[in-house]
């Protein structure tokens, strides 16, 4: 298979972890006889520094003309502590999602059994958890009207959804539920918010087209509580941009660490694959970032954008095997991890790559 992949390392540990995600895609191409060509482009702080624009037109051009995107993260402490900055790295990410029509963010939350001890949640509560979040990505308070008034004494953001935006993400969630346990939980705040009442109305209407799938509604506050109390009760979850942002970070603790969670953003055209974590300035440059979220993002890319399910499974199996052999990065180690099994970013990537490269080439 011939495919064009654009790598967007972005900022901070984005640079460090996408190098490992890319190395895994190269290993897969070589073992399974595919031709993947790679190009890189600028986004975020790195792009502002060299062009003044967090998403330069040259980057957008490349993104519009490729088959899949492997993204790292954007962000820099300089902007986190300066709310007045007019140009910000995150604008690059939001604009990219809008421009490419990436309206559905899929976040699979599955705990590798080997990491049961790495979470702060009790193993007996966690074991067997397997959740698939659908977070809406191009609407909500992130894109509604915002501003200041009353001589800067008041600030406002507008939570806004259209029927069409809710319908298309609901369809994605119900279709996925059919391949799983045939359950969808829709999360909103319909007891308070008008946009949530529209959300609920539309999800309910869409559910009529999927009579074999059970629909349950939860308010976001109750969903946040239940997620920690009984994560096994969740299967497919569909929710808006803001609630999804918060709930999936919470759910990262089910998978042991932010460094373990991959995501796919899809829409009508090209798909974008990225870890759910940010640029993590606190550990940038130390070489200790966990690259598995980027590597698992590469696995999602192979499956969703290229339909290469066996190749994707091979990557997940390689990650599982590395964990079974006791290797850990610092964020997922526990008291029982021996010192010689604690790996840095590169070493963890190499362990996964080694296992893929030892797979025999499939017969044609």
**Residues 102 and 272: beta-carbon distance below 8 Å:** yes
- Hey, which residues does 207 pair with through a beta bridge? none
Q: Does 245 bind ligand NAD (CB under 6 A)?
A: no
Restricting to residues 86-105, which ones interact with ligand NAD according to CB under 6 A?
90, 93
Residue 150 annotated in active site: no
Distance CA 172, CA 63 (A): 23
Report CA 292 to chain centroid distance, whole Å.
Answer: 12
Q: Measured from the CB atom, is 213 or 242 closer to ligand NAD?
A: 242
Q: Contacting ligand NAD (CB under 6 A), which of 159, 331, 343, 356? A: 331
**Residue 56 burial (CB count, 10 A):** 18
Report CA 344 to chain centroid distance, whole Å.
Answer: 22
Q: Does 54 bind ligand NAD (CB under 6 A)?
A: no
Q: Measured from the CB atom, is 237 or 280 closer to ligand NAD?
A: 280
Running DSSP on this structure, what letter comes out for residue 350? H
Residue 340 annotated in active site: no
Residue 245 annotated in active site: yes
From 132, 107, 53, 99, select the one nearest 270 (Cα to Cα): 99
Residue 189 annotated in active site: yes
| Residue span 156-175 as binding mask against ligand NAD, x where in contact by CB under 6 A, dash where not | --------------------
Q: Does 297 bind ligand NAD (CB under 6 A)?
A: no
Piece in contact with ligand NAD (CB under 6 A), picked from 57-65, 202-210, 281-289, 309-317: 281-289
Q: Does 289 bind ligand NAD (CB under 6 A)?
A: yes
Q: Which residues contact 293 (CB under 8 A, 6 or more apart)?
A: 17, 258, 259, 260, 261, 262, 275, 276, 277
Catalytic residue among 142, 210, 273, 327: 142
CB of 50 to ligand NAD, least distance (A): 18
Catalytic residues: 142, 189, 221, 245, 249
């Amino acid at each position: 298979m011939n495919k064009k992949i654009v790598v967007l390392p972005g900022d901070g540990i984005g640079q460090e972890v996408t190098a490992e995600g890319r190395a895994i895609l190269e290993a897969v191409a070589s073992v399974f006889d595919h031709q993947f060509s790679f190009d890189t482009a600028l986004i975020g702080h790195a792009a502002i520094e060299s062009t003044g624009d967090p998403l330069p037109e040259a980057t957008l051009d490349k993104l519009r003309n490729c088959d899949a995107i492997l993204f790292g993260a954007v962000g820099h402490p300089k902007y986190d502590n300066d709310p007045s900055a007019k140009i910000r790295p995150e604008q690059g990410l939001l604009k990219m999602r809008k421009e490419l029509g990436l309206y559905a963010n899929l976040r699979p939350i599955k705990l590798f059994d080997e990491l049961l001890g790495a979470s702060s949640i009790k193993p007996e509560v966690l074991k067997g958890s397997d959740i698939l979040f659908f977070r809406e990505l191009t609407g909500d308070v992130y894109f509604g009207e915002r501003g200041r008034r009353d001589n800067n004494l008041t600030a406002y953001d507008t939570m806004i959804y259209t029927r069409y935006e809710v319908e298309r993400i609901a369809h994605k969630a119900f279709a996925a539920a059919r391949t799983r346990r045939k359950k969808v939980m829709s999360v909103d705040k319909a007891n308070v918010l008008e946009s949530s009442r529209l959300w609920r109305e539309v999800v309910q209407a869409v559910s009529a087209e999927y009579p074999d799938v059970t629909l349950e509604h939860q308010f976001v506050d109750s969903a946040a509580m239940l997620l920690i109390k009984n994560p096994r009760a969740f299967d497919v979850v569909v929710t808006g941009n803001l609630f999804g942002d918060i709930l999936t970070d919470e759910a990262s603790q089910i998978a042991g660490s932010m460094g373990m969670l991959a995501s796919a953003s899809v829409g009508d055209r090209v798909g974008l694959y990225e870890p759910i974590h940010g640029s993590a300035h606190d550990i940038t440059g130390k070489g200790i970032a966990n690259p598995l979220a980027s590597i698992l993002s590469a696995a999602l890319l192979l499956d969703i954008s290229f339909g290469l399910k066996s190749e994707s499974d091979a990557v997940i199996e390689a990650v599982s095997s590395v964990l079974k052999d006791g290797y850990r990065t610092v964020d997922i180690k526990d008291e029982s991890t021996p010192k010689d099994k604690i790996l840095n970013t590169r070493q963890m990537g190499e362990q996964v790559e080694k296992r893929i490269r030892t797979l025999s080439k499939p017969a044609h």
